[in-house]
Amino acid sequence: MVGIKDNLKSLVNRLKEIKSIQSVCTTEFCQGKTTRWGLAWTFNCDMILVELQNPDIQLVFPNFPPHVNLETYISDIFTKDLKCEYERQKCSIYNVIAHVNRWSHQRRKRRQEMKQMKDGKIQKLENNEMEIKVECLENNNKSVLLNFYIQVELKSEDAVAVLSFWVKSGTLGKDGVNQIAQYLKNRYLTLE
């Protein structure tokens, strides 16, 4: 329990410097005008404390198709389409790290693909050359745009898929996770 918010920040930074600490979590307690902050950490690599908090964003997909494996579907989206680092942490919780924003401007990309199909293969070759140039630039820039946890659950009795997001770090923050959530909603609509 911490009574001064500035002390909380320095304590969290010190805990993150210790290599054996696997997960750090904070919470806020408010009663009237008095505020206190709770700080928790663990040395257990199987426990991620952020999962104990309420998620920053939660998506619910009703009537998820039974023939589609939810975890594989989400994994393919993050690894193949968005080209993110996607690593299982525990059970159904994954850590996702994005270095490049590939989820924005999807409508523009679809229109460009339609135009390419009308124009023929010449336009497609030019686009492939452009893709190679973009990937070379992306490989040189390895800053973290977004780092977050995602929990993937399928409630089989109702065929409801629930995706919960917790923002960990990155320059885009919660807004970036909102953009990814919208991208996943759009992809789900094409799945149905």
Query: What is the enclosing helix (H) or strand (E) of 159?
Result: none
Average pLDDT of span 1-25: 85
Q: Does residue 85 carry a pLDDT above 80?
A: yes
Q: What is the DSSP string of 107-131?
A: HHHHHHHHHHHHH-HHHHHHHHHHH
Enter the tokens of residue 13: 């930074």
Specify whether 79 is located in the same domain as 150: yes
CA torsion angle for 13, 53, 22, 10 (degrees, to 10)? 10
Specify whether 175 is located in the same domain as 163: yes
Specify whether 80 is located in the same domain as 111: yes
Specify whether 37 is located in the same domain as 55: no
pLDDT tier, 65 (very low <50, low <70, confident <90, very high otherwise): confident
Give me the CATH number covering residue 172: 3.30.310
What is the extent of the structural domain holding 92? 50-192
Specify whether 187 is located in the same domain as 121: yes
Specify whether 7 is located in the same domain as 73: no
Specify whether 5 is located in the same domain as 93: no
Burial (0-12, 13-18, 19+ Cβ within 10 Å), 148: buried
CA distances from 64 to 18, 57, 59, 157, 180 (A): 42, 19, 12, 11, 19
Specify whether 108 is located in the same domain as 156: yes
Specify whether 82 is located in the same domain as 33: no
pLDDT tens per residue, range 50-63: 655 678 889 998 88
Specify whether 91 is located in the same domain as 141: yes
pTM over cut 0.75: no
The CA distance from 85 to 59, in Å, is 21
Specify whether 39 is located in the same domain as 134: no
